[in-house]
Structure 1
Amino acid sequence: MKKLKIVIAGGGSTYTPGIISALLSHIDRFPMEEIRLYDNDSKRNEDMQLIIEQLLKEQNHPEIKLIAEENPKAAFVGADFIFSQIRVGGLEMREQDEKIPLKYGLVGQETCGLGGFAYGLRSIKGILEIVSYVQEYAPNAWILNYTNPETLVGEAIRRVYPGIKMINVCDMTISIEETIAENYHYDRKNWVPTYFGLNHYGWYTEIYDKSLQRDVMPEIINKMREKTMGVAEFNEGDQTWAEAFKMMSTIVEYFPDYIPNNYLEYYLFPDLVVEKTNKDYTRANMVMEGREKNTKEMARKIRAGETENVLNFNFGEHGNYIVDIATSLLNDEHRRFMVITPNRGSIPNLREDAVVEVPAYIGATGVEPIALDSINDFHKGLMEAQVAAEKLLVDAYFEQSYQKALQAFTLNQSVNSAYVAKQVLDEMIEVNKEYWPQLN
């Protein structure tokens, strides 16, 4: 089998070790000869290069060449797979995304609400740039995208590069499934879940367990109503995630038909979320003092010559999920995953041009979404409003339209006032001058 050249776009990300670890654990199905870390932040990329070099030594893979690159041509030319996980503006802008809406009494979150929309306007420019490099230097490569917010990114890519070999995926559904399985003593590997929605905005309608030969979702819902879930091992000690999974039980108590994505708390209970959020110390600050600090410390120790027990990271299924998709593509395995893809009838009574998250089989030719049943008015109404808001935001990007951006901010399901939406938008414009298109 041909040995592959892979690129991690956003190579300095703290999630890079998880992806590389997963790639190494699947080396028999996904043989590599070269790993390229591409990032426009040279310091972070250099730190990550040290960490991955140490990882390759510990995993006994001296044959794999590792390079860190800021030059697009050198990074992408001749690549076979690109794993994209860029964060335009870094954690500093994530902090603005979270804290500005909170100042006005709205949800402050990196991918949801108006913070997610601010991040989306930055991400569109960044991901279009990455795709343009791939088109120029590696037109036959597959792009596997983790860059958020994924439905906004997917909508922008759909318009500019409709035929691109790109798959947008999110590991949140896998994290939810792992957490449920760990709490209630199931084996997720036996599950065939059915799910519909948008990115970070969806519901499970069935979880068929092959070993038990039945749909276990009704009993899981009952268990969630009886006992709040704790976090899984990979989120151990993280109070934010503990609160999120606790809120899942509240959502199920109100709407017991389906199991929700936990991110729906930001849309169904925005007032409760704002009430319990520290406006001065948000998730961005936690990440800066957690994963970011830990990564810098690992790099510092390696530079100082320390090599024993230096590597320290646990990212759950994040890396495994995207690598499983890569192996399914490479080896035509036709395995089933949740993917973010143009609807085109997968949800028959939702607009065809929506970018949705649904189950799909992945083989050598790409994504083959499954056909789902029609959804009911409650879920359809929620989704249609959010889809319309997201499309307006992408319109605003391409048309440089202030009016479309204001409409999108006003229609976002976490917002209850056009007056407040305008205040947040105007402040977001000021802090994002370096990243957003000029809105007229």
Structure 2
Amino acid sequence: MQAYSKGGIAMKHEDLHVVIAGGGSGYTPGIIQAVLHNSDRFPVTKFTLYDIDPVRNEDMNVIIKYMLKHDGYDNIELVATLDPKEAFTGADFVFSQIRVGGMEMREKDEKIPLKYGLVGQETCGVGGFSYGLRSIKGLLGVVGYVQEYAPDAWILNYTNPETLIAEAIRRQYPNAHMINACDMTISIEETMARNFGYDRKNWICQYYGLNHFGWYTEIYDKKLERDVMPELIKKLQDAPMKIASFNKGDQSWQDAWNMLSEIVRMFPDYLPNNYLEYYFFPDLVVESTDPNYTRANMVMDGRLKRTKEMAEKIRHHADGEILDFDFGEHGEYIVDMACSILNDLYDRFMLILPNHGAIPNLRDDAAVEVPAYVGRLGAEPISMRHDIPDFHKGLMEAQNAAEKLLVDGYFEGSYQKVLQAFTLNQTVPSADKAKKVLDDLIVANKDYWPELK
């Protein structure tokens, strides 16, 4: 077994054991596929699916077992377990994609705010804060298990909302080997590239913000040898993008791309993350949302249903092509990060990290999303080297303050701090509505949130 030092700790270089926390997720096959496609530089011999939902974890166990056999990887060990000690002992990498409360709680995150005329969304607005309080508790548990059973393992986190997660983990486990990443920026980039005839692999992107709350300042194309962002902005102003294959049949994504063009027409200097629609146009979002059938219902009737049907087809030995996955770059992105750590590649990724001067005129302890190089010692953020505009800075400072208040409220069990966070959230027009929706969400999340006093 080859090994290298990770901050003074020996780490394996082959015969890797990868744990997927949230193994029952419908995104698990895409991550497994990406690992298999990179077996030459990321040699895995064991996968463990860890989840607290026995039904979903077993469905995914059936699917992944079939996939490994179908693709000729019978030699890879596969374990599905609900036991954290069994799951994490001996792990080298942990890919986290947990969803605390499942789609049932996501539905409440979306529908309870809508009852008060507020944005109902899983990571943005007060629904995102509701999800965040659940996710903090859930991921602190996962990181605690890793510290106990596999303290040398790297944790690569996809669990949302990312900046809230990053802030909470930094406070409780400051020395954890953990990288927080979101695939939304690469989904935007991949959709633009496919729509307008570019190759995203040639792009070097400059970007800054908070998670789901940021802007591109440059997209340099190495092949074309120029910044293509101005022409992308012009194309988006002229017409919205069409849905890429990995979002096929999902009208909500077409609505998102339509709104992205509206943002670019109004604020044409930079290319925004499409999630900013919830902060710029919360009234329009609420008006166009069906309060009885939200995004959670779409996912339950779409991806979750298809995943269940695939597992049943395998159990009943159905004929024909059973596996049907297209996740875009979701799986590849997290596996590329793992490869960059393992092989000290110093590849570039968009990550959520403590600011520490990366954005010079923003507070040092903000959890920001910026480009970073990743190698054996982790992530090193790339400095912007210039101040950001007051418009973006003001938006980010308010959002970051709300997020920090929410994390304060989690650790202190403070109703007042959480109410302040809800009131400061830029999708909320009044403290009265903030209090009403908070009180309803406390009841809905009684089994998941810390007690607030």
Equivalence for 1:245? 257
1:396-411 maps to which residues of 2 (within 5 A)? Answer: 396-411=409-424
Equivalence for 1:388? 401
Q: Is the 8 A contact 2:118 2:282 kept in 1?
A: yes
Secondary structure of 1:122's counterpart equals helix
2:206 pairs, out of 187, 194, 197, with 194
Equivalence for 2:26? 14
1:166 pairs, out of 172, 178, 181, with 178
CA distance, structure 1, for counterparts of residue 319 and residue 175 of structure 2:
45
CA distance, structure 1, for counterparts of residue 373 and residue 426 of structure 2:
31
1:82-121 maps to which residues of 2 (within 5 A)? Answer: 82-121=94-133
Q: Is the 8 A contact 2:109 2:131 kept in 1?
A: yes
Equivalence for 2:336? 324
CA distance, structure 1, for counterparts of residue 417 and residue 304 of structure 2:
35
- Structure 2 unmatched ranges of 5 or more: 1-12
> What one-letter code is carried by the residue in structure 2 that aligns with 1:344?
H
Percent of pairs with identical residues: 68
Q: Is the 8 A contact 1:81 1:143 kept in 2?
A: yes
Secondary structure of 1:413's counterpart equals coil
Q: Is the 8 A contact 1:80 1:140 kept in 2?
A: yes
Give yes or no for the alignment of 1:80 onto 2:92.
Answer: yes
Q: CA deviation at 1:355?
A: 0.2
Count of paired positions: 440
1:259-298 maps to which residues of 2 (within 5 A)? Answer: 259-298=271-310
Equivalence for 1:41? 53
Equivalence for 2:158? 146
CA distance, structure 2, for counterparts of residue 226 and residue 126 of structure 1:
43
1:354-369 maps to which residues of 2 (within 5 A)? Answer: 354-369=366-381
1:31 pairs, out of 27, 38, 43, with 43
Give yes or no for the alignment of 1:341 onto 2:353.
Answer: yes
CA distance, structure 1, for counterparts of residue 320 and residue 28 of structure 2:
20
2:441 pairs, out of 428, 431, 436, with 428
CA distance, structure 2, for counterparts of residue 431 and residue 332 of structure 1:
45
Q: Is the 8 A contact 2:14 2:42 kept in 1?
A: no
> What one-letter code is carried by the residue in structure 2 that aligns with 1:233?
S
Secondary structure of 2:373's counterpart equals strand
CA distance, structure 1, for counterparts of residue 112 and residue 408 of structure 2:
23
Give yes or no for the alignment of 1:438 onto 2:451.
Answer: yes
Give yes or no for the alignment of 1:312 onto 2:324.
Answer: yes
Secondary structure of 1:195's counterpart equals strand
CA distance, structure 1, for counterparts of residue 151 and residue 175 of structure 2:
11
> What one-letter code is carried by the residue in structure 1 that aligns with 2:19?
V
CA distance, structure 2, for counterparts of residue 307 and residue 138 of structure 1:
41
Q: CA deviation at 1:306?
A: 2.2
1:213 pairs, out of 213, 222, 225, with 225
1:376 pairs, out of 377, 383, 389, with 389
Secondary structure of 1:105's counterpart equals coil
Taking only aligned residues, the RMSD between alpha carbons, in angstroms, comes to 0.7
Q: Is the 8 A contact 1:54 1:307 kept in 2?
A: no
Q: CA deviation at 1:311?
A: 1.1
Q: CA deviation at 1:307?
A: 5.5
Alignment deviations for residues 45-90 of structure 1 (CA, whole Å, 9 cap, x no partner):
0000000001101110011000101111100001000000000000
CA distance, structure 2, for counterparts of residue 308 and residue 249 of structure 1:
41
Secondary structure of 2:379's counterpart equals strand
CA distance, structure 1, for counterparts of residue 205 and residue 422 of structure 2:
33
Alignment deviations for residues 5-38 of structure 1 (CA, whole Å, 9 cap, x no partner):
0100000001100100111111111001100000
Secondary structure of 1:17's counterpart equals helix
> What one-letter code is carried by the residue in structure 1 that aligns with 2:435?
K
Secondary structure of 2:39's counterpart equals coil
Give yes or no for the alignment of 1:133 onto 2:145.
Answer: yes
1:222-261 maps to which residues of 2 (within 5 A)? Answer: 222-261=234-273
Q: CA deviation at 1:305?
A: 1.9
> What one-letter code is carried by the residue in structure 2 that aligns with 1:348?
P
Equivalence for 1:53? 65
CA distance, structure 1, for counterparts of residue 108 and residue 441 of structure 2:
8
Secondary structure of 2:290's counterpart equals coil
CA distance, structure 2, for counterparts of residue 133 and residue 307 of structure 1:
41
Q: Is the 8 A contact 1:4 1:34 kept in 2?
A: yes
> What one-letter code is carried by the residue in structure 2 that aligns with 1:386?
Q
Equivalence for 2:431? 418
1:175 pairs, out of 181, 184, 187, with 187
CA distance, structure 2, for counterparts of residue 226 and residue 45 of structure 1:
45
CA distance, structure 2, for counterparts of residue 314 and residue 45 of structure 1:
20
Taking structure 1 as the reference length, what is the TM-score of the superposition?
0.99
Q: Is the 8 A contact 1:336 1:359 kept in 2?
A: yes
CA distance, structure 2, for counterparts of residue 357 and residue 197 of structure 1:
5
Q: CA deviation at 1:308?
A: 3.4
Secondary structure of 1:374's counterpart equals coil
Q: Is the 8 A contact 2:166 2:352 kept in 1?
A: yes
CA distance, structure 2, for counterparts of residue 419 and residue 184 of structure 1:
45
